[in-house]
Structure 1
Amino acid sequence: MKKIKKEDKVLILSGNHRGMEGVILKVFSKKNKAIIRGINMVKRHTKPTPKKPKGGILEKEAPIHLSNLKKIKIEK
């Protein structure tokens, strides 16, 4: 198995985002998961804090298991 690392282009093999391509932002090697830019977005409800007095709903990427990813060669 080829090592998947930050800034690699990957193809999602299974799940709701099957067939989509994206670039890896972060890899969690101990958990075997990765975060891909713009893929698997989830909504996070936050309480008001001094930085964000209103609180609200934030959208961010959730991790995807490495077994559901395939590294793509970038042609130059």
Structure 2
Amino acid sequence: MIGKIKLKKNDQVKIISGKDSGKTGRVLSVDRIRGRVVVEGANLVKKTKRRRSEQDQGGIIEIEAPLHISNVMVVTKNGKTTRVAIQQKGDNKVRIAKKTGEEL
């Protein structure tokens, strides 16, 4: 496990390294133990699916594979990539963008 993971589901992220670098997408799931995220429409791999019934067709499908969390960065509302900090506001904690200081 890596340090504190500050990404959440439905965050808008940009891939900064790997075969899909430069693509942006929404986080579909976060695996905090392995330190991986699944990004919508990125890191597509082909997988064979077995036919289960008459209605369920088998074949080769494309699914999103998980990426390491260090290969993605959060995108702010103005489209810039930034790191995430956690700040105490009153009784609750808020995630903020390090570059702009806006809340995520």
Quickly name the TM-score band, shorter chain normalised.
Answer: 0.7 to 0.9
Instruction: Give the aligned partner of residue 36 of structure 1.
Output: 39
| CA–CA separation in structure 2 for the residues paired with 1:60 and 1:20 | 16
RMSD over equivalenced CA pairs, Å: 1.7
Give the unaligned 5+ runs of structure 2.
79-104
Higher relative contact order (CA 8 A, sep 6+): 1
Instruction: Give the aligned partner of residue 13 of structure 2.
Output: 10
In 2, are the aligned partners of 1:43 and 1:57 still within 8 Å (CA)?
Answer: yes
Runs of 4+ in 1 over 2 A off after TM superposition: none
| CA–CA separation in structure 1 for the residues paired with 2:62 and 2:22 | 22
1:23-62 → structure 2 map (5 Å cutoff): 23-50=26-53, 52=56, 54-62=57-65
Greater Rg over alpha carbons, structure: 2
* TM-score of the aligned structures, taking structure 1 as reference length: 0.85
Mark the CA change 1:10 to 1:48 in structure 2 (over 3 Å): closer, same or farther. same
- Give the % identical residues: 35
Give the unaligned 5+ runs of structure 1.
none
Deviation at 1:2, TM superposition (A): 6.7
Deviations 1:1-33 (A, max 9, x none): 770111111111110111111110111111111
